[in-house]
Amino acid sequence: MQFAIVIMAAGKGTRLKSKRAKVLHEAGGKTLLRHVTDAARQVVPPEDIYIIVGHQAEQVQSSLGRLGVNFVRQTEQRGTGHAIQQARDAVSRYENIIVLSGDAPLIRPETILQMRDFHLAQRSSMTVLTAFPENPFGYGRVVRRTEDAEQVQAIIEQKDLTPEQTSMGEINSGFYVFRREPLYAHIDELESKNAQAEFYLTDMAGILTAAGERVTAIKAADPDEVLGANTMEEMMDLDGRLRRRSAQILMSKGVTIFRPETTVIDADVTVGADTVIEPFVQLLGETKVGQDCRIRSYSVIENSTLGDRVLVRNGCTITQSTIGDGAFIGPYAHLRPDSEIGEGAHVGNFVETKNVRMGKGSKANHLTYLGDAQIGSQVNIGAGVITCNYDGVNKNPTVIGDRVFVGSDSTLVAPVELGSGSYVAAGSCITEDVPEDALALARARQTIKPGWAKMRRAKHTK
Ligand code: UD1
Ligand code: CA
């Protein structure tokens, strides 16, 4: 049976007091809407997903990139019922429609499927997902039918509750399944005679019940899943929950995370078993970490791939880079975009790399800048070596062959090539290519003046 998923994401989110549309705010490393869309994509193919956009529509659409989902415009935001009215033509070929709120990012695909299956088993025209949160304030409340508790009489918004009704604890999550035919047969009966002068989708519960259609409710297994955010404080609470969820998933797969409450792990990060993550580590974006690694405190790793048995010591920043199996990084190394560190390589203290390919077993252990460089295997880069890759106008490449030894404090003025097996004497400023197996010495010759220091001291003590 074909289902469409409609995600409502056209609202502004006035209560956040932000210039940015609410669904574009980030929690757990992704926008709220991206979380909901990713959950939807686990349930139906992207061509069956319809996102209602209105406020900052262009930004909302482009935030989802090329996922292949559809967009429906709601040019004026006149309420959730009005939002679903706009989708009438777009979803006309489906038998059932799942409606999700773009501002409730904790929803899991399992829960969407449960709601769908319940809806089908109950042969309902409308099913609403409900929960009993600690504090129901602000949510719409679900009134069950007295003669059959499985069925819903109506949903009443917080602002429209009578004082006696405020004690009702079962809330509307904002997630629903509808049979398309009765939904659109009755949706034009919605009125905006309410506290917010909006067309409430929630009123469909009362309208369909009155029309003799079956409206049912299913309770979410985890009440947290329905949480949204209306204030920044609530947004950061969602962020904490999403990151705790990521850490819990990783721990259930054999990853050790010391003090998980201090780590910041985005939802799409993967980590292999037996890897240890120390306190205050951030793993962001699409980062992938292999097995048996150790990530020490205060390292921030973003959109990068680490092999197995990699050691990242304290305080490293690693962005859009790849690190081979068994490599050692840091402490305090900065791997900027497009650094490819080979198997077993060492990148040590205060080393900065950018657009570098470093071969197997090569070492740059101390105080070095390597930019736009291709470095072979088993190379030794001495302390303080600098690739001078920028001439003020262009970036130029440095090519270093296998088994090259670059003495400490050398500068390599690019474009320049050091042939395999060559040797650069410490303190050299290399401006010309060095042939294979040659020694390059490019520094002033040392002079010795015997007794000079003693004479100077004598002059000054006079
Ligand atoms: C809604 C429900 C409430 C429920 C709560 C759960 C209604 C009337 N109320 O209230 O019962 O407890 O969700 O979180 O539905 N949107 C549009 N177009 C609009 C208005 C809203 O696309 O014209 C989108 C918003 O961007 C948002 C979602 O619909 O993603 C929900 O709208 P919101 O205004 O946040 O509704 P709530 O007040 O939270
Ligand atoms: Ca909301």
Distance, in Å, from the CA atom of 414 to the CA atom of 225, rounded to the nearest integer, reads 55
Taking every pair of Cα atoms in the chain, the longest distance, rounded to a whole number of angstroms, is: 114
pTM of the model: 0.87
Model pLDDT, residue 1: 63
Question: Whose C-alpha lies nearest to ligand 1, atom 37?
Answer: 139
- pLDDT higher than threshold 70 for residue 188: yes
Model pLDDT, residue 458: 96
* Residue 366 falls in the annotated catalytic set: yes
Nearest CA to 175 out of 139, 151, 138 is that of 139
Question: Whose C-alpha lies nearest to ligand 1, atom 13?
Answer: 174
Model pLDDT, residue 2: 85
Of the listed ligands, the closest to the CA of 80 is 1
**Ligand 1 center to 119 CA (angstroms):** 21
Of the listed ligands, the closest to the CA of 53 is 1
- Which residues are close to ligand 2, an ion, with C-beta < 5 A? 103, 228
Distance, in Å, from the CA atom of 442 to the CA atom of 432, rounded to the nearest integer, reads 10
Q: What is the pLDDT of residues 94-117, one digit of tens each?
A: 999 999 999 999 999 999 999 999
> What is the DSSP track for 140-204?
-EEEE-SS-TTBEEEEE-GGG--GGGGG---EEEEEEEEEHHHHHHHGGG----STT-S--GGGH
Shortest-distance atom of ligand 1 to CA 10: 22
* Length of the chain in terms of residues written: 462
**Ligand 1 center to 80 CA (angstroms):** 6
Distance, in Å, from the CA atom of 375 to the CA atom of 381, rounded to the nearest integer, reads 10
- pLDDT higher than threshold 80 for residue 64: yes
Distance, in Å, from the CA atom of 216 to the CA atom of 56, rounded to the nearest integer, reads 34
Contact 246, 267 (CB under 8 A): yes
Contact 115, 217 (CB under 8 A): no
**Ligand 1 center to 200 CA (angstroms):** 8
**Ligand 2 center to 230 CA (angstroms):** 7
User: How large is the average pLDDT for residues 342-366?
Assistant: 98
What average pLDDT is seen over the chain?
A: 96
User: How large is the average pLDDT for residues 323-327?
Assistant: 98
DSSP element (H, E) containing 241 = helix 232-252
Q: What is the pLDDT of residues 196-228, one digit of tens each?
A: 999 999 999 999 999 999 999 999 988 889 998
Where does the pLDDT of residue 230 fall: very low under 50, low under 70, confident under 90, or very high at 90 and above?
confident
